[in-house]
Amino acid sequence: MSALRSVRRLRVAIAVTAMAVAATVAAHAADAAFADWLLSQWPQAQKLGVSRATFEAATRGLEPDLSLPDLDIPGRAARAPAQQAEFVRTPADYVREVTIARLAAHAKKLHAAHRSTLERIEERFGVPGHVVLAIWGRETDFGRHKNTHSAVRVLATQAFYGRRKAQFAEEFLLALKMIEEGHVSLAAMKSSWAGAMGLTQFLPSDFYRYAVDFDGDARRDIFSSVPDALASAANQLAGKGWQRGRRWAYEVRAPKTFDCTIAQPTFTLPVGEWIKRGFAPAGSRRLSAAELADSASLLLPEGAHGPAFLAPKNYFVIKEYNFSDLYVLFVGHLSDRILDGARFEAPWSKDRQLRTAQVEAMQQRLTAIGLYGDKIDGKAGMLTRAALGAYQKQNGLKVDCWPTPEVLRHMQARRGSQ
């Protein structure tokens, strides 16, 4: 019996060793493929004006960072980008009052310290100073949060292993161009896990589209120059269609009965028409004639629960800076608080959401029955919430446009019976 056990142990040891060898061989093969890919980028880099010396310095001995999230590595399950909190938290957890109050207090001091610069930024780009301050605060805590990843390594890894290879291959090459042109040194080019850099988190393509020299030193320094970084952020918002003199959103009190399924970007009405339908401005706010004429969508971050907002063009401009409703709510609300604006009038009511896989299952079911046609991403965004409301209507359920365990169970039961 002991001899049999020894043979079994030996077989297990051999199998484990074989697996380890196979993994090592696979890792070496992957590293070799990554190295070959790096070398293949030289012709494109050269076309962008990158010298051989810069290319060699940036790529010699460079290894992929496989600890990054959102990679597509054969044989390994994708790791969700946990750092990107706007996609996994509830509004109450993301737009926390203690955080908003802390950032607003510091931003007011910065607003006073940079008043002249912020006034010139608004005059040139049409974007108020408190809005770009709010972006700065959300992105890097006014520069107090330091990026620690090598931008070149991040972008190269995402270009080779990521899910948006073509996009990141371009960003990688433009990062090399930034180094070549002296905008930043290789050592100082630090980024987030997604490759965003500087005080207001620009990708290299953003830098070349929108970065400006606003402090007059003949450099576009988004890493350490506050005037350059804030003006560049304002230039990006202006380039995406920011409307001068208009708000980012209006909090409203929703009428007792309304159809939450119309809360989607394609359904727009003038603000004045929304008010006629019973959506009263929060805090008894008086709106100007221009504001009443502004076209807006209805935004319900918690479905029929919690605060409601009318979202005009500027709301969606901020959303292009970061594609998340919660990000826009955070930045917009912080910008209001910098000007001594009030807290949200209606309290947030949801303290948790379904898991990503559960929301994905709901999206798949909604797609199968023709109520949803957007991405299957496990995120309960505007279109998902509207589709859920339509499903609730069709099936005689309580219509609140919010993903709940009850609705998920109903979907599973209906699918199982078909």
Predicted local distance difference test score (pLDDT) of residue 163? 87
**Opening angle at CA 324, ends 157 and 389, nearest 5:** 125
CA distances from 51 to 47, 152, 246 (A): 10, 16, 46
Q: How far apart are CA 175 and CA 220, in angstroms?
A: 14
| CATH fold of the domain at 356-417 | Muramoyl-pentapeptide Carboxypeptidase; domain 1 (1.10.101)
Contacts of 378 (CB under 8 A, 6+ apart): 355, 356, 357, 358, 359, 360, 363
Predicted local distance difference test score (pLDDT) of residue 401? 96
Predicted local distance difference test score (pLDDT) of residue 74? 74
Selection from 336, 129, 326 nearest residue 237 by Cα: 129
Q: How far apart are CA 201 and CA 222, in angstroms?
A: 8
Residue boundaries of the structural domains of the chain = 356-417
Q: Convert the pLDDT of each residue in 115-165 to its tens digit.
A: 999 999 999 999 999 999 999 999 999 999 999 999 999 999 999 999 899
Predicted local distance difference test score (pLDDT) of residue 19? 40
Q: How far apart are CA 341 and CA 204, in angstroms?
A: 34
Q: Which amino acid is at 45?
A: A
Helix/strand/coil for 202: strand
Handedness of CA 368, 373, 378, 384 (dihedral sign): negative
pTM: predicted TM-score of the whole model, two decimal places: 0.87
Phi, psi of 362 (to 5 degrees): -65, -40
Q: Indicate the DSSP class of residue 265.
A: T
Predicted local distance difference test score (pLDDT) of residue 28? 45
Q: Please write down the long-range contacts of 286-289, taking CB distance under 8 Å and 24 or more positions apart.
A: 287/250
Q: Which tokens sit at 354?
A: 């379904």
Q: How far apart are CA 135 and CA 128, in angstroms?
A: 11
Question: C-alpha 138: how far from its chain's center?
Answer: 11
The bridge status of strand 268-270 relative to strand 190-191 is unpaired
Rounded to the nearest 10°, the torsion over CA 394, 396, 398, 399 is: 20
Predicted local distance difference test score (pLDDT) of residue 284? 76
Enumerate the H helices of 91-150 as residue ranges: 91-94, 97-113, 115-125, 129-140
Ranges of residues in the chain with a pLDDT under 50 are: 7, 12, 15-29, 82-83, 85, 87
Q: Which residue has the tokens 């292009």?
A: 320
Predicted local distance difference test score (pLDDT) of residue 83? 45
Q: How far apart are CA 145 and CA 198, in angstroms?
A: 10
